[in-house]
Amino acid sequence: MALTINTNIASLLAQQNISSSNAMLKISVQRLSSGHRVNSSADDAAGLARADQLRSQSRMIQAAMRNVNDGVSAMEISDKAAEQVTNIITRMGELAASAAQGTLDSNTRTFFKDEYDKLINEIDRIAGTTEFGGFKLLNGSISSLTMFIGFKNSVDNQLSVSLVALTSAGATGNVGLSLAAGALSSVTGALNALDAISVALNRVNSARAVYGATTNRLNVALQNLQVTFTNFQAAESRVRDADFASETATFTKNQIMVQAGISVLAQANTLPQSALQLLR
């Protein structure tokens, strides 16, 4: 190689290698400081797109889990209210059985009748005030409640629950419990009330069975969403996150390469001084 002064080829090569080593060191520092292997599309365009898609779906799964929990809350509220209605109807059955006694005079029968009628009003009050998210659950104003429990627009990601009116007289399109005030005015009315109470109890029990079954189904759906969320997070991590063991080794190598390059550059910068030996 010719001995030149104006152009130090060795120094230029050393500077070029130092620049490359510095660029690699910068990438290692960025990955170690952020914890991500992919920090921009330049790092891995396809990987970043996949990781962002998985992150977006994970966020939607989290929203779906909140939806499921809301659905469980709605079913539990409905069930507890229906439980109180069951207790009231049971008490009404006691009153009807007592009022069916033929030895009662009109004044004594009135005592049973008044409590019976007030309990019917209480059933209607409970049905009218039991709500979740602004929806009345027991008064028959809505026939079903649809919950979104997934992250895609498909039927399989929705769950519809039929709601039963637990009011005394029912609502439009819903027969209710068919319990009438004033039924205990006579022995015949009390006996007929016993039949109506039996039907009402069956109706409430059927509604509670739906609430319980739906709650169990929602809990299973929630567990599945939790597993799916964990798997999606793991999939995103495998694409996006940095392997610290590997990145630390790479960082150490790049750091040594930069230091070695600087040392070599210092030596290369002294090569033109060899020309001075020819001038002596």
12-40 tens-digit pLDDT: 888 888 888 888 888 788 778 888 888 87
Per-residue pLDDT of 86-144, as tens digits, reads 999 999 999 999 999 888 888 888 999 999 999 999 999 999 999 998 889 998 888 88
Q: Residues 269, 154: one domain?
A: no
Burial of 227 (0-12, 13-18, 19+ CB in 10 A): exposed
Are residues 74 and 142 located together in one domain of the fold?
Answer: yes
List the one residue out of 155, 148, 172 whose CA is nearest residue 221: 148
Judge if 177 and 247 occupy the same domain. no
Same domain, 235 and 265: no
The closest alpha carbon to 109, from 177, 193, 178, 168, belongs to 193
- 134 assigned to some structural domain: yes
Q: Which of 28, 33, 67, 57 has the alpha carbon at shortest distance from 234? A: 57
Residues 251 and 125 in one domain: no
**Inter-residue contact 167 to 161 (CB < 8 Å):** no
CA angle 182, 184, 186 (to 5 degrees): 110
User: Can you list the alpha helix ranges (DSSP code H) found in 100-152?
Assistant: 106-129
Q: Give a yes or no: residue 39 inside a domain.
A: no
Residue 230 within a domain: yes
Total number of domains in the chain: 2
How far apart, in whole angstroms, are the C-alpha atoms of residue 25 and residue 44? 17
Q: Is the domain of 101 the same as that of 122?
A: yes
pLDDT of residue 172: 45
202 falls within a domain? yes
| pLDDT tens by residue, 185-204 | 999 999 999 999 999 999 99
* Full domain range(s) for residue 50: 45-240
According to DSSP, residue 132 is labeled E
